[in-house]
Amino acid sequence: MRTLEQTTQEVLSLAAQHFQLAAGTLAPEDDFFKKLGIDSLQTLEMLSRIENHFGIELPDYEVQGVSDFKTLAERIQSRL
Amino acid sequence: MLDLSKYQSIGEALKDSLEEFANEVCLIEADREREKERLTFRDFKERAHPLAKALQESGFSAGDRASIIMTNQSKWLITAYAIFFSGGVLVPLDYKLTPEEHWQLLKHSGASVLVTEYPIWRQLSAAEGRAIAANVRTVLVTEAPANADLAGARRWEEFCGESEPVFAPRERKDTACIVYSSGTGGRPKGCMMTHENYLEQCVALTSLYPFWPGVRYLSILPTNHAIDFMVGFFGPFTCGATVVHLRTLRPEYVREAFPKYKITYVSLVPLVLKNLQKGLQARFDGLPAGKRRIFDALVAINKALTKTRPRPWISSRLLKQVHEAFGGELRTIIVGGAFTEPQTLQFFYDLGIPVANGYGLTEAGTAITVNDLKPFRADTVGRPLPGMEVRIVNPAADGVGEVSVRSKTVMAGYLNDPELTAEVIVGGWLMTGDLGRFDEAGHLQLSGRKKNMIVTEEGKNIYPEDIEAAFESLPVKEFCVFAANYIWPKRSMVGEKLVLALHPEQGQQFNDQLRQDINTRNNRLLNYKRIHGVILLDEDFPRTASLKIKRNVLAERLAKLDSEAAILPL
């Protein structure tokens, strides 16, 4: 079982890969809309990649209003 | 289609639809690749009537208000029908608002019943705002886990009456829905839409874009939105057509839904349409050189053949692979909620996929103008719908002035706000606050806004007053939020931004600490509500006798500044 810290790091790494950024560019507290300059649709695309990686399903309502990696990692952790 | 001129209310028309089309499929609900349920109009009635009976037994009666806060799904429509059947007034709220915003609007609407989903209720019931809306006496929650703490709510699935409910007739002039066009933080704008508004709009829209049994509409826009309520519920139901709901809006599942369910119509906001365009363009760009040349030639032939009108049969054969990706049955993409750039509309039309671009606002009842495709025009928002009188008020030399509308589809007014109603409905004409002109062909071309607001590409109306609460007690002398276009008008409907005008205390600098404070507050707002930059003004803001900021006068003062240099980034 992953720890929350491990989950967070994996989320950051997946997001960096998805948007072709260097590893370590993103931090847990980063607001992904602002930091990545993405819209809600691009966020949904990123989530699909994250779901595949963790082998879980995150219903849309679970990520409604989430805008930072830390909270996103917590929502993922609760479903692992 | 039912002859809607014979009906007095939404509930009466829907009631007859359920009998008329009893064996047709009215709803399909899917979650990712799994189809969850498929209901005929008969099944729909069997689900809705016990709910209507239970509502009536709980004391809910004609004229009472009930709110729905749900993502798009079968239960949304079943609940709405039970409310209309019982003569109730529906208050559909955007599920994406925050719990505090929901409670404010629930209080303002006077709703006695709330129907919501368990994950939303979990947040709503924990929010402090719950205390302000004591008017909400009955809460029904869907899909709650077996051992869930319902915090005073009841399970929707178990809220069933045993005998037949009694139909409550309403008149055309009665309020059918209270739809909030904005006002979550400041002055709520609850548009009172009458039964006549919906009946008339449905006739007008279906005359251009008809539904019939076998048509399948993919419902993606939230159903609380005027467009989806009309073309994703009332329109298809009164014509015996099918509505397809997806429980997740991940792009890959939306794409799969088109061929899987042979979708006929879909409504999208400009942001999603542009995303589709981007995806298709990337695929075209990835074609080997030879195939690309053939493809470009086919697009050119299609353009030539569809110059005067769409020819779906020819287009779908010429550009077979593109059309098959959309299921092969797609007749039209309806786009609304915000302004769409002409090149995006042209892109799809050239592929033989007409996009019904239009213009409307909640206050006018869904749509005012729609492109009738006779011929297709990417540079306008089309001609007025049947029954709409549209005129340009105080036009300038180039014909541009404020768009105003008179029609049976215009709202009765704003709930509990006669003052605001009198400002926007003048002598029977709805003043839209949008600027435009008519061209020689009678098409409306929009060119900017007169009002202090922005509309995002996701179709969200943002009024600056509504987000000022986020900056309350900011350590400055005074502040005010504006739409940048309101200060520096420009002839554009895209790229609109919000700015924060600040008057610092004497000697106060716009330093990192203040910037950080603004950023922290800004980040608490939903992404599309955030301010883009700050304007500093070293003078007292003009105020009324009751000390309210005179926004128009302040905007005039700010307008004297150079917009490029005045907006400081955050």
Of B32, B71, B251, the CB nearest to A41: B251
A69-77 helix and A40-54 helix, angle to the nearest 10 degrees: 40
Contact B71 A62 (CB under 8 A): no
Domain count, chain B: 3
Which pLDDT score is estimated for B529?
85
CB contact under 8 A, B32 and A41: no
Q: Residue B204 — very low, low, confident or very high, per pLDDT cuts 50/70/90?
A: very high
Quote the pLDDT of residue B486: 85
Which residues in chain B have their CB less than 8 angstroms from residue A67's CB?
Answer: 523, 527
Q: How far apart are the first and last CA of chain B?
A: 54
Q: Say if the Cβ atoms of A40 and B523 lie within 8 Å.
A: no
Residue B336 counted as domain residue = no
CATH number of the domain that residue B428 is part of? 2.30.38.10
Q: Under an 8 A CB cutoff, do A48 and B252 touch?
A: yes
- Dmax (CA) of chain A: 32
Report how far residue B273's alpha carbon sits from residue B279's, in angstroms, rounded to the nearest whole number: 10
In this structure, are B436 and B478 located in the same domain? no
Which one of A34, A40, A60 has the shortest CB-CB distance to B248?
A: A60
Mark whether B418 and B523 lie in a shared domain. Answer: no
CATH number of the domain where residue B42 is located: 3.40.50.980
Closest residue, chain B, to A38 (C-alpha): B527
Cβ contact A64–B250 (<8 Å): no
Interchain pair B457, A39: CB under 8 A? yes
Task: Mark B132-171 as b/e (b = at least 16 C-beta within 10 Å).
Answer: ebeebebbbbbebeeeeeeeebebbeebebeeebeebebe
Each residue's pLDDT tens digit, B421-448: 999 999 999 999 888 999 999 999 988 8
Count of CB pairs separated by less than 8 Å, A with B: 46
Query: Which of these three, B229, B261, B293, is where a domain ends?
Result: B261
pTM (two decimals):
0.85
Residue of chain A with shortest Cα separation from B248? A60
User: What pLDDT sits at residue B183?
Assistant: 54
Over residues B90-112, the mean pLDDT reads 93
Task: Please give, rounded to a whole number of angstroms, the shortest distance from the CA of A43 to a CA of chain B.
Answer: 9
Binary contact (A45, B457; C-beta < 8 A):
no
Residues B569 and B533: beta-carbon distance below 8 Å: yes
The distance in angstroms from the start CA to the end CA of chain A is: 8
- Tokens 């299609």: give the residue: B302
Instruction: Give the chain B residue nearest A31 (alpha carbons).
Output: B523
Average pLDDT over residues B508-528: 88
Which residues of chain A does B95 touch, with a Cβ-Cβ cutoff of 8 Å? 61, 64
Q: Say if residue B375 is preceded by a cis peptide, omega within 30 of 0.
A: yes
Tell me, yes or no, whether B366 lies in a domain: no
Put simply, the answer to whether B271 touches A41 (Cβ < 8 Å) is: yes
pLDDT digits (tens, 9 = 90+) for B136-191: 999 999 999 999 999 999 999 999 999 999 999 999 999 999 999 875 555 789 99
Task: Write the CB contacts of A42 (distance below 8 Å, at least 6 apart in sequence).
Answer: A36
Number of domains in chain A: 1
Look at residue B521 and tell me if it is in a domain.
Answer: yes
B503 and B491 assigned to the same domain:
yes
Of A33, A44, A65, the CB nearest to B251: A44
Whether residue B74 is found in the same domain as residue B176 = yes
pLDDT of res. B92? 98
Averaged pLDDT, B522-541: 88
- Select from B436, B451, B466 the last residue of a domain: B451
Percentage above 70 pLDDT, chain B:
99
- Assign residue A20 the CATH number of its domain: 1.10.1200.10
CB–CB contact B119 A57 (8 Å): no
Residue B313 has pLDDT above 80, yes or no: yes
Q: Look at residue B452 in the predicted model and tell me its pLDDT.
A: 79
Optimal mutation site among B101, B250, B255, B529, interface A, most CBs of chain A within 10 A: B250
Q: Per-residue confidence at B564, pLDDT binned at 50, 70, 90?
A: confident
The per-residue pLDDT for range A18-73, each reduced to its tens digit, is: 888 887 889 999 888 878 877 777 888 888 889 989 999 888 877 877 888 999 99
Q: With H, G, I as helix, E, B as strand and everything else as coil, classify residue B391.
A: strand
Residue A67 and residue B458: Cβ atoms within 8 Å?
no
Listed in sequence order, the residues at least 6 apart from A69 whose beta carbon sits closer than 8 Å to its beta carbon are A8, A11, A12, A15, A26, A27, A28, A29, A30, A32
Which residues in chain A have Cβ-Cβ distances shorter than 8 Å to B249? 44, 60
Yes or no, beta carbons of B117 and A61 under 8 Å apart: yes
CA distance B470 to A39: 21
From B243, B261, B279, give the residue that closes a domain: B261
- Of B96, B247, B523, nearest to A64 by CB-CB distance is B96
Nearest to A45 among B98, B251, B272 (CB): B251
* Chain A environment of B251 (Cβ under 8 Å): 41, 44-45, 48
Task: Using CB atoms, pick whichever of A48, A61, A67 lies closest to residue B527.
Answer: A67
Range of the domain at A23: 4-77
Cβ distance A40 to B252 less than 8 Å, yes or no, reads no
Indicate if B409 and B496 belong to the same structural domain.
Answer: no
- Looking at mean pLDDT, say which of B424-428, B453-457, B525-529, B565-569 comes out highest: B424-428
In a domain, B311, yes or no: no
pLDDT score of B179: 96
- What residues contact B407, with CB distance under 8 A and at least 6 apart? B200, B364, B365, B368, B387, B388, B389
Rounded to an integer, the average pLDDT of B213-221 is 95
Q: Which structural domain, as residue segments, surrounds residue B158?
A: 4-261
The chain-wide mean pLDDT, for chain B, equals 92
Note whether B248 contacts A67, CB cutoff 8 Å: no
Reply yes or no on whether the pLDDT at B535 is more than 90.
Answer: yes
Mean pLDDT, rounded, for B271-290 = 91
Strand duo B189-194 + B175-182: pairing? antiparallel
Q: Which pLDDT score is estimated for B185?
A: 54
pLDDT at B49: 98
Least confident of B225-234, B333-342, B366-375, B453-462: B453-462
Give the pLDDT of residue A63.
81
